[in-house]
Each structure stands twice: as structure tokens, then as C-alpha cells.
Structure 1
Amino acid sequence: MPKTTKILLTDDHQLIIEGILSYLNGIENLDIVTTNSCDDAYAKIKVALVDEPFDILFTDLSFDNTDNSSKIDSGENLIKTLRSENIDIKVGVLTGHSETNRIFNVIRNLEPSAYLLKGKCNTNELNFAIQKMLAGEIYYTHEIHQKLLKRALVEIQMDDVAIQILKELPNHPKISNLEGVVKKEDGSFLKIRSIENKLAKLRTDLQANNNTDLVLKAKELGILD
């Protein structure tokens, strides 16, 4: 008889939980427990360690139901807490957050076994993700994978001059003001024509309509804070 996989599903919206449950209930051999807060999720995981530990945690990232009494106020902090205590549980992010910068930071810093988007997953994808996680593999939904790939490609194209220009751009009303500000590797200043050429290439690489849009795209990709 196949082993039952014990899953903890954490989300602050009960309707979302019920929707995800409708998909998970279509998968065999799952024992699913739900909770609406990170504190409760942590408590359930700790209690279960004594007898029947959870195999997988699916958690959202943002929780709107936290207050000053909450010890763990986000999915990120829940994952960090579990990691800091070396609790053996596979973690999957199941969220509505699809901002490239947040995705990049969560995956780089927390290394979840899966990253799926609420409202865009179904029984088949959840089942596939669960099987991958149980096998010790990684699964990111297609949209997340594409965003990470684009972020990596853009990062490869970024050099120190490009970063300087993007950081200084919001501080100067005219492009000509960047002359005498942006430096090359040898310490000399970049001429205005070179700055304009670099900006044109950056707009093309980041598919930006103008310089304002370029800065926004750079922030969305996590290139700028």
C-alpha cells in the first residue's frame, strides 16, 4: 500500500484554502491539514515531529491576519524559522506573488522546493509538484521559471557602468547631467554619447519604452532596490 503523504497547507484566506483543497482532494494518498496563520503552522509542525511529522508544507508569503502578538508574520519568516531549527520538511511556496524581485529573493535566500501561483495551478500541477518534492527535486511553475530565466539573462548583461547609470538616472532630470558622474573601470568619466548609447541598449534589453520605464523595469527585476 502506497505511503500517505502528510501535507500542511497554510494561508490566511479560508476561501483560498478551500479552493486549493478541491485540487488536492483529487490526489490519492494525501493526509492534508490546514491552518490560517504562520504561528499555528509552526506549532502544528513542532507537535507533529513527536509522532507523525509533516512531509510537505505549502505556505503563502503574505499574511494579512497578523498583529503585534504574532511571532511569525510571513511565509518567508516561517520558512526561515524552520530552516534555522533544521526541521526536516519539504517547503513549497503557494502564493499570488509573481513580482520578479520577490520571487528571486525568496528562491535565492530560502530555496523552497516548489514555487506555484495560486489561481493558476490545478490538480495535475500540484500532483506533479508534490511528486518532485518527495523525490528531492525542485519544481517551479512555468511563469516563475520564465521570470527567473529572464532575470538571470539580464543580470549577465549588466556591468558596473550599466548599474551606475540605472542608479543615477532617477536623480538627474537631464541625461546630460550624468556626464561627470558615471565612471569607467579606469576611473575616467563616461562621455554623454556613450551614456546615451548605453541607455539605448538597456532600454532594448529590458524592453522599456523610455528611461522612466527602464528604471521601473530594473526595480521589478531586482536590479535596483
Structure 2
Amino acid sequence: MFQKVLIAEDTDYMSSGIKIALESFQIPQIEYAQYCDEAYLKLKKAWLSNEPFDLLISDLSFVDNYSPQQLTTGEELIKKAKELQPDLKTIVFSIEDKPYRIQHLCKELLVNAYVWKSIHGQKELKRAINSVYGNDFFITPKLAHTLRTIETFEITEYDVSLLKHLANGMDQRDISKDFKEKNMKPSSISSVEKRLKILKENFNANNPTQLIAITKDFGLI
């Protein structure tokens, strides 16, 4: 099992849920940092001392510190940590569930596990630690669909027009009317409603506003 673990979490480590998840593993050395700069300094010091950490468990969002921080998010910390120590195992433990952000962390920053802070968070964190130690990837099952790349779901010009109209404040009836005038098919209200439902499901959006925010981040509109 891991021998030296660093926790980057701005809430009290004792009450964060991570402590409970780690207790059963009997890890000899566990250190804690409330800010990303502090966490990176600990990682760098350990690396330079030839006593590197085996695992970094990090949140993504951190409260503002009274002094300016160079690293302000878990993403920035993980990126710098990987540059310093490429073989460092990393687990994200966060409430963030936006698909584009999870994809970036798992596919670009190559984190070893992504655990969603939820009612099952502690249990899943334990599963993640076991998986990562065994060189396997882990993601909270309810978020697994977010790793489906955007290319696997074909976004058409119809979809882009639909999203743009939605972003401009048009409701489904108005969108249907505009599509009929432009001879865009399908144009019925039920068809527009059905396609919007599929888009929301694909992008894991709970409502039209969130769908617009996510697709803007993807650069679709």
C-alpha cells in the first residue's frame, strides 16, 4: 500500500471524509495542506530530499487565502505536480461534475482517479485508492459517462443552430417556428424538445441554462 500520501483540501482534514477513508489502509505518513502553493512546496521538498510522496489526493476548488497564491486550483496543482514528479499517483476528490472539466483532468492531466464528493464519496475514495495502487483507473460510476468524448456524439449544424437559438433566449415554440421558416428539418416542437433532451443527456446538463454554459465551454457556440 502507499507509504506517503499528501492531502490538498481546504476544509478541515479531520472532518473532510478523507481521514475516515484512509484509516483502514494504515498508511505510515499522511500530510495535509490547505492551499495549493503549500501542497506544491511539500511535494517539491519531498522530491528534492529523495523522499517523494506516493499519492496526491486533491480537491479542485480552494477558498481564497489572505496572501496571493500562484496556484489557486487543484487542476493547477496537479499539472505542476506531474511536471515535477511524472510518476506521482493523483486522485481528484471533488463536488465538480461538469463533463468537460472531468474529461480535461482524466484525459489531459491524466489523473489516476476521479471521485465525486457525494453520499458515497468516502466508500468510493477507498475503492479509488485500492484501484490506483493496483495501477488501475477509477472514476465514480455515476460520472463514467462524462468520459465519452464529444466525437462519439455527432454534433450537427442543426444542433448548433438549436443551441444558438436557445442561448439567445428563444423558447421551443419560437425555435420550431424559425426552423420551419428556414426549412430546417425536423422542425416540429416535439422534435425540438426531443433533440434538446438528447443534448442535455449527452452533456450531463440538468437544464437549458446549464446546457448552454457547458456547450459554450466546449466552444460549440
- Band the TM-score falls in, shorter-chain normalisation: 0.7 to 0.9
Letter in 2 for 1:97: E
Structure 1 counterpart of 2:138:
139
Secondary structure of 2:91 counterpart? strand
Structure 2, unpaired ranges of 5+? none
Structure 2 counterpart of 1:63:
62
Structure 2 counterpart of 1:99:
98
Separation of aligned partners in 1, 2:149 and 2:191: 19
1:54 equivalenced with 2:53 (yes/no): yes
Query: Is the Cα–Cα contact under 8 Å of residues 101 and 219 in structure 1 kept in the other structure?
Result: no
Structure 1, unpaired ranges of 5+? 181-189
Query: Is the Cα–Cα contact under 8 Å of residues 13 and 32 in structure 2 kept in the other structure?
Result: no
Separation of aligned partners in 1, 2:16 and 2:200: 39
Separation of aligned partners in 1, 2:216 and 2:152: 11
Q: TM-score, normalised by structure 2?
A: 0.77
Letter in 1 for 2:121: C
1:215 equivalenced with 2:208 (yes/no): yes
Q: How many residues align?
A: 206
Letter in 2 for 1:118: K
**Runs of 4+, deviation exceeding 4 Å:** 15-18, 151-155
Structure 2 counterpart of 1:108:
107
Q: Report the Cα offset of residue 165 of structure 1.
A: 2.0
1:160 equivalenced with 2:144 (yes/no): no
CA shift in 2, pair 1:8/1:51, >3 Å: same
Root mean square deviation of aligned Cα: 3.0
Structure 2 counterpart of 1:20:
18
Separation of aligned partners in 2, 1:161 and 1:76: 34
Letter in 1 for 2:33: T
Percent sequence identity is 25
Letter in 1 for 2:195: L
Q: TM-score, normalised by structure 1?
A: 0.75
